[in-house]
Structure 1
Amino acid sequence: MTRTPLRYRILTTSLLTVAALYFLMPVYWLIVSATKSSADLFGTFGFWFADPHPVDHLLDVLTYDDGIYTRWFANSLLYAGIGAVCATLLSAAAGYALAKFPFPGREAIFNVVLAGVLIPGTALALPLYFLFSGMGLSNTYWAVLIPSVVSPFGVYLCRIYATAAVPDALLEAARLDGAGEARIFAGLGLRLMTPALVTVFLFQFVHIWNNFFLPLVMLSDSDLYPIQLGLTSWTGYADRQPVLYQYTVGGAFLSVVPLMVLMTVLQRYWRTGLTDGGVKA
């Protein structure tokens, strides 16, 4: 086995180090800035701590305006949690069906799903608003939840993974034993597709958590806002209430904590899902 020359290893390590610093620097700045007052944000060095009581500023974020930030945080958890779980289950069922059940028009349906992957969400926001407004569901939780349970990418990934990871012989053996299709899907299909399902859940959770335009179009009641829309509303009043600059930065820091925890916990499933789905296909 030939070893990579030392100069190439040094070059590769140096490039990866620079890339890591490039992506971690904004996170570090956010952590440092979350500990500062509004005056310190603009009057001190941006990459070092300035306040000896950083936790107090974060507590102020949680208690400002009768704890509206905690309401936004709970709304984001609701939208992202329920939306990601439902999207994962629907994607699993659709991908499994497209992979394991031959029927007329199957490839046409799959091509439509692929087209859905290419359509940006912003292009659908206004048509969705008119649709939900006509049904009387605009400015409700449903206006954000229902579009969030649809994931064309999830259907695509689940079909590719089910084709590679769920053997047809195993399904035939289960049918010969008298198992119904629903039981086979729940007992075998979902278990064998676990890495892909975790990947879909992670992608969809992050997408919904960071979604801004759809809630902006659908919601007018600030009590229904997710974090991203709520923080933007704070920045709109920051010129008249400078303290909102600090609250916005602190709120932004708190908003990325769940994503960091989720990425850390699920990263090994995420890597497995992407690798197996891409290689076996």
Structure 2
Amino acid sequence: MTAIDTRVGGDQRLRTETQAITSPADAGTAARGIRRPPRGPVAPPLMSRWVVNLVLVLFALYTLLPLTWLLIASTKDTPDLFGTPGFSFAEFNLFENLGRVFSFDDGIYARWMLNTLLYAGLGSVASVSVSFLAGYAFDKFDFPGKERWFAFVLVGVLVPAAVTTVPLYLLAANVGLVNTFWGVFLPGIASPFGVYLARVFSASYVPVELVEAARLDGAGEFRTFASIVVPLMKPGIVTLLLMSFSGIWNNFFLPLVMLTDKDLFPVSLGIYTWNGLAIADPEFASLVIVGSLVAMLPVIALFLSLQRYWQAGIGSGALK
């Protein structure tokens, strides 16, 4: 009786497996005793590896081709610049072009670079200091209306910088800061996004227990911030410093509205004035190209020198 039941059960399992076979290939596989893996969803064609690589290559070309053209064009004199194809080499005149850029108009380009270094260097340091002090306070201190004030800061993140340029000009005009160094420097210190980013880094990197232990040991708030908080938030500080420096270095619209004295121009505004003169005098075209090439070098050097801190900050923020 047991043998009969076993045979009946085996026949039922065989019929079930036979009904599950849907193709001749599946039948041969089942006959050989090979179990096919479950079929997963087929990836759509647009998500294939070749399409992704093609998109990445296009973005790389979009980024690198203008820089390549700038490097090649900066080595040409004015006749070769207009008489040869853009990506073809001609007689090498880079050093002569550099000499013309730095000697034109009694070295006004060097003055523009110095102005930009002051605007971006001092401005980024001041902006990072204010942002991280404010972000640390929003994260670790309790005071009336804290979240409302922080929501007000977030509103500033949503407002484009171009919208605030004219109101800033009117405020500067009322206090006599138009066409001065401070009229461009002071607005660059305020950074709502920097405050938001600083609070995020403070919440992720600085344990509350560590701050409370420092307070119990008798350390003041500024000593705690300088000795404990700043070393812990170094990746975030470097990340915000790079972002702030790059933003102020490339700032154009605010100096355009605020300044009329060319001795106070940043390099971006100075190159813009040369570009306007190049329409009537083609000799300015080479000055614009070589000046643009030189203006990129400090930003590139800063990114390369602080790259390891910047990557660490982005990676740690992604993990946390």
Normalised to the residue count of structure 1, the TM-score between the two structures is: 0.93
3-state SS in 2 of match to 1:260: helix
Contact 2:69 2:86 (C-alpha < 8 Å) held by counterparts: yes
Contact 1:157 1:277 (C-alpha < 8 Å) held by counterparts: no
* 1:49 equivalent among 89, 93, 115: 89
Name the structure 2 match of 1:89: 129
Query: For 1:106 and 1:132, how far apart are their aligned partners in 2?
Result: 29
Aligned length: 275
**Cα deviation, residue 274, structure 1:** 2.8
Name the structure 2 match of 1:212: 252
Name the structure 2 match of 1:129: 169
Tell whether 2:138 aligns with 1:112.
Answer: no
Query: For 2:166 and 2:79, how far apart are their aligned partners in 1?
Result: 39
| Larger RCO: 1 or 2 (CA < 8 Å, sep 6+) | 1
More moved, 46-55 vs 25-34: 46-55
Matches within 5 A, 1:68-83: 68-83=108-123
Tell whether 2:223 aligns with 1:190.
Answer: no
**Cα deviation, residue 63, structure 1:** 0.7
Query: For 1:127 and 1:12, how far apart are their aligned partners in 2?
Result: 44
**Cα deviation, residue 10, structure 1:** 5.5
CA-to-partner distance for each residue in 1:149-206, whole Å, 9 max, x for gaps? 1111111111001011100111111111111111001111111111111111100111
3-state SS in 2 of match to 1:52: coil
Contact 2:206 2:229 (C-alpha < 8 Å) held by counterparts: yes
Pick the structure with greater CA Rg.
2
Matches within 5 A, 1:193-272: 193-272=233-312
Tell whether 2:174 aligns with 1:167.
Answer: no
Tell whether 2:73 aligns with 1:58.
Answer: no
Name the structure 2 match of 1:275: 315
Contact 1:91 1:151 (C-alpha < 8 Å) held by counterparts: yes
Q: Which amino acid aligns with 1:238?
A: A
Query: For 2:276 and 2:64, how far apart are their aligned partners in 1?
Result: 28
Contact 1:161 1:276 (C-alpha < 8 Å) held by counterparts: no
3-state SS in 1 of match to 2:105: helix
CA-to-partner distance for each residue in 1:8-38, whole Å, 9 max, x for gaps? 5555444433322221111111111111122
**Cα deviation, residue 77, structure 1:** 0.4
Residue 22 and residue 240 in structure 1: after superposition, are their counterparts in 2 closer, same or farther (change >3 A)? closer
Query: For 2:118 and 2:278, how far apart are their aligned partners in 1?
Result: 27
Name the structure 2 match of 1:16: 56
**Cα deviation, residue 53, structure 1:** 2.7
Contact 2:76 2:92 (C-alpha < 8 Å) held by counterparts: no
Query: For 2:148 and 2:319, how far apart are their aligned partners in 1?
Result: 24
Structure 1 runs not aligned, ≥5 long: none
Residue 14 and residue 236 in structure 1: after superposition, are their counterparts in 2 closer, same or farther (change >3 A)? closer
Q: Which amino acid aligns with 2:296?
A: V
3-state SS in 1 of match to 2:88: coil
CA-to-partner distance for each residue in 1:38-96, whole Å, 9 max, x for gaps? 22222101012212232111211111111100100111001000000000000110000
Normalised to the residue count of structure 2, the TM-score between the two structures is: 0.82
Query: For 1:217 and 1:21, how far apart are their aligned partners in 2?
Result: 34
**Cα deviation, residue 259, structure 1:** 1.2
Tell whether 2:185 aligns with 1:145.
Answer: yes
**Cα deviation, residue 110, structure 1:** 1.1
Contact 1:75 1:224 (C-alpha < 8 Å) held by counterparts: yes
Q: Which amino acid aligns with 1:207?
A: G
Contact 2:119 2:185 (C-alpha < 8 Å) held by counterparts: yes
More moved, 17-26 vs 127-136: 17-26
Name the structure 2 match of 1:179: 219
CA RMSD of aligned residues (A): 1.7
3-state SS in 1 of match to 2:134: helix
Q: Which amino acid aligns with 2:91?
A: D
3-state SS in 2 of match to 1:61: helix
